[in-house]
Amino acid sequence: MRPFRLEQGPSLLNIVSHGRHGPGTMHLTPAHIEQIRRTVGYAPEVMVKVTGGAGGCSRQGVIAHFNYIDRKGELEIETDEGPARLKGVGAQLFNRWDLDLEEHRKRADLSAIQRRKPPKLVHRLVFSMPAGTPPKKVLSAVRSFAREEFGLKHRYAMVLHTDEPHPHVHVVVKAVSEEGVRLNIRKETLRSWRNEFARHLRAQGVEANATERAVRGESGRTLKDGMYRAMQRRVSTVLSREVQDATRHMPKSPGEESLLETRRSVESGWCAAAGLLERNGDRILAESVRRFVATMQPPRTERGWPTKPAERALTREQERTR
């Protein structure tokens, strides 16, 4: 079971276990309280992801990705050495970062040891914020993050994209540092990067938060925007009936049991946090926490989300309501 973590401190489940022994045995730090305040206030959540595929494993793939993110020289690409706006910068960076040497070493390794997947030459990252966030501040936050995280260690480049409602920055990071240390990106790495990205955004005056989906009471796949808005308007009664009818007689899977157990732990953690806040005299925030827990959507696995027939039923319902 994944612990309910708070930024820069112990998990909330640890706080709960200590808090049950009585007041005074555990306290919420100012960092905990601020993150709780942001979370129950629905502050915008940052997004950091690693894009998949084999595009980061070969010369052709790396150069193609550079050409994609800077639109073949139309957009400014910023590296650890400064900004540049030149056509063919992808090939230049490939050579300047000595990726041709890394590719040669990679092939030598593959001839000696048969790997299932070729090692990456670069990591391809995306840092994103919801629509309405000032794009230049997103870029400035990513620039500060990259300087602290990769500066003097890993070569990197970035490009701001504003062609979609949500501003996002594509970052390319050389997988092997200048000292020959390979960067391995794990779940804990991404969690730390999200926290740091949010911190740099707040330093820019942008409200930003970094919490896990389970902590916010979210589960299952993301709904399409139109379906989400329709459900928020409570016009999806037909959809709800179809989903309930489809799942009423199905036994719970191990995944569902795990999901329910995680939700119980999350709710227990939030309730314990509310109790600690109330004992510390912050009754207003404690009440906000309780309202936040009360409005969480029930946990649902993939089968609990709308199926194609249910989506069609929702479309008919939307048309009728419109």
154 vs 84, more confident? 154
* Residue-level pLDDT at 88: 82
Give per-residue pLDDT as tens, 146-175: 999 999 999 999 999 999 999 999 999 999
CATH architecture of 47-203: 2-Layer Sandwich (3.30)
Specify the DSSP element, H or E, that contains 68.
Answer: helix 59-69
Give per-residue pLDDT as tens, 15-56: 434 444 444 455 788 988 999 999 999 999 999 999 987 788
84 vs 171, more confident? 171
Q: Is the pLDDT of residue 319 over 70?
A: no
Chain centroid to CA 262: how far? 19
Q: Is the pLDDT of residue 303 over 80?
A: no
Does residue 112 come out as left (phi exceeding 0), alpha (psi in the -120 to 50 range) or beta?
alpha
* Residue-level pLDDT at 52: 82
* Residue-level pLDDT at 129: 98
Give per-residue pLDDT as tens, 187-231: 999 999 999 999 999 999 999 999 988 888 886 554 444 544 554
d(CA 314, CA 237): 8
* Residue-level pLDDT at 184: 94
* Mean pLDDT, residues 68-87: 89
What mean pLDDT value characterizes the chain?
80
d(CA 322, CA 106): 58
Query: What is the domain partition of the chain in residue ranges?
Result: 12-42+219-321, 47-203
Q: 64-69: long-range contacts (C-beta < 8 A, 24 or more apart)? A: 64/90, 65/90, 65/122, 65/124, 65/172, 66/90, 66/91, 66/93, 66/94, 66/157, 66/172, 69/159, 69/161, 69/170, 69/172
d(CA 43, CA 216): 11
